[in-house]
Every structure is written in structure tokens, then in C-alpha cells.
Structure 1
């Protein structure tokens, strides 16, 4: 019988940790430090792949903050992800009676099933401009982690 070494985070590990993702100016996006820790399965999409990659090789008790360059965690901003959508398409995707304002996150049905979302930037007479980039695309971020347990 062999003993599996689970002393460090590997692909497929269940990791219990506290984590904090913050903007470069220190504003929290998400943090578990004031609440109970999170348990994540690496590779299941709970964190963006670049954030999961940071966890690989870390050991129980590790606590540090990693600085991510603009675009490193959620990719660079892509100008082609700014798109005009006809108001007819917007109405097809809206809840009955829903009004949209710039800054709203609107979900759309994807061709072939599934959903995707964009942030409304402006509304014209016949179409609306949406930003389909991830909201954190192109941002410099801080990712603080404290590894509590690994299975």
C-alpha cells in the first residue's frame, strides 16, 4: 500500500484556503478572510486558471500575496469584445418589463445553448453597446492566499 503525498497543491486537489482578490489600489473584489474558508477543487473552474496555477506547489500553512500584472488573471481587454446589439435582440433576452441602464450586466442566450453576459455601455436609437470582456480583464490584481488544508 502506497501513501499518497498530499503535502502540496496539485491539479485535482481539494484545497481549503482563505483567499482575497483585490484591485491594485487595495479595493477588495472578494475575500474569505473575514468569514469561513473556501474549499475548491482545482480544475473545476472555481477560480480562473491563472489563479489556480499560482496555487500549484503551495503547502499547508503557506500565506502570501501574489501581484498579477494587468491582464494576467483574466486576460487583456479586447476591443473586439465591445459590440453593438440590436434593441430587438436585447428585448428578446430581457425579462418582461425590465429596463436597462448603462452599467447593467445583461445575460444573453448563446448559440447552441448556454449563457453569456455583457455590461451595457450605452443605448442608441436602434442598438445598444455592450462590453463582453470579463469585468477584471486588463486589471492589475493582488491575490492573497492562505492554504489551510489539502486533500
Structure 2
């Protein structure tokens, strides 16, 4: 005995298939404007553009018009205050922050070294003047005082102990992926 075929079933099935196809096309061609915006989180790799200035407005570092700075948040590849500043930012967002020395480059008294004047003369051939740049191996420092017996050199970076101002723009966020680090 042959089964009776109900033509309405074929029509309904075809109708639902068409609805499904048009629904897929609509989602692909017309995505919802309510997309979730990605925010920088710990572990994300970000590309940023920045300008760093001292309180007097002097620029001490910038990558504007150059390659972006790429780092992974939480990996301590940049100073803590800079890392903290990008947390929660979105692509295209610009933020201005002021970072305290303890969250950037704290002044380190141990980086100020006194040398015997005679040793400095032996190493350099002469006694450098106050303000002169000197090298000791891979370290670079500034002569801060000279007297009859000693030469004092400060090996702290020039930004140490200062408040640093940054204008930061997030250019790209990669979650659990790696951007090419700069």
C-alpha cells in the first residue's frame, strides 16, 4: 500500500528552507549593529601609539608616525603604570594618563656610584666635568659631582623619579593571540 503524500508538507518544508537561507544571507550581509566591543584585558596583546611627556610638556619619547608599540598586558614588558592605563581601553580609544615614579621608573639610590678620582683618570684619561655622559660597561650615566678625591656618577635613567604623562591610543587588540612584537 502506497503512502499518501501530503503536498502541504513539501510546501511547508520548502518555505522553512527558504526562510533559513534568507536568514543566513541577512546575518552575513547585514550584521547587527549591536556587536560587543573588545576591551583590553590581562593576557591580551595590544598595539598602541603613544607620546610621553614630562610635566613641563617636553616630549621624552614617542612612536607617532612610527611602528606601534606591541606588548602583552600582564607580562611586564612595559612599566606598570602604562600597562594599567591600557586595561579596559577599546580599539581607537585615546587616553591621557599621569604615571607616578613608583609605577614607572623610581629613583634608585643604589644606581648612584662614587669612584676614586684616580681610578676615573686611569679609565678615561681625564676627569669628566659635571653633566658629562660616561659609560661603565653596558651602563650609561651622568657625572653629578667631582671633587679632589671622588667622581659621582648617576646611572639612573633620565626619566627616573619623575612623573610621566602619556597620551595612549589603542590601535589593535588580540585576545589570546600574538601580534608581532616591536
Same structural fold, with TM-score higher than 0.5 when normalized by the shorter chain = yes
Between Structure 1 and Structure 2, the one with more helix by share is 2
Q: Does 1:84 find its partner at 2:114?
A: yes
Q: Map of 1:2-151 to 2, 5 A cutoff?
A: 7-33=38-64, 35-42=65-72, 43=75, 45=77, 47-75=78-106, 77-87=107-117, 88=119, 91-92=122-123, 100-109=128-137, 115-151=138-174
Q: Is the 8 A contact 1:71 1:137 kept in 2?
A: no
Q: Report the alpha carbon displacement of residue 140 of structure 1 after superposing the two structures with TM.
A: 1.9
* TM norm structure 1: 0.69
Stretches of structure 2 lacking an aligned partner (at least 5 in a row): 1-35, 175-182
User: Aligned pair in 2 of structure 1 residues 128, 12: CA closer, same or farther (>3 Å)?
Assistant: farther
Q: Report the alpha carbon displacement of residue 44 of structure 1 after superposing the two structures with TM.
A: 6.1
Higher relative contact order (CA 8 A, sep 6+): 1
SS of equivalent residue, structure 1 residue 146: strand
User: Aligned pair in 2 of structure 1 residues 63, 122: CA closer, same or farther (>3 Å)?
Assistant: same
For the pair shown, the structure with the greater C-alpha radius of gyration is 2
The ranges of structure 1 where at least 4 consecutive aligned residues each deviate by more than 6 angstroms after the TM superposition are none
1:67-108 CA-to-partner distances (Å, cap 9, x unmatched) read 223544212x3445433123426754x5xx687443233332
Distance 2:121 2:84 in 1: 37
1:92-128 CA-to-partner distances (Å, cap 9, x unmatched) read 4x5xx6874432333323xxxxx33322112333431
Between Structure 1 and Structure 2, the one with more strand by share is 1
* TM norm structure 2: 0.59
Corresponding residue of 2:21: none
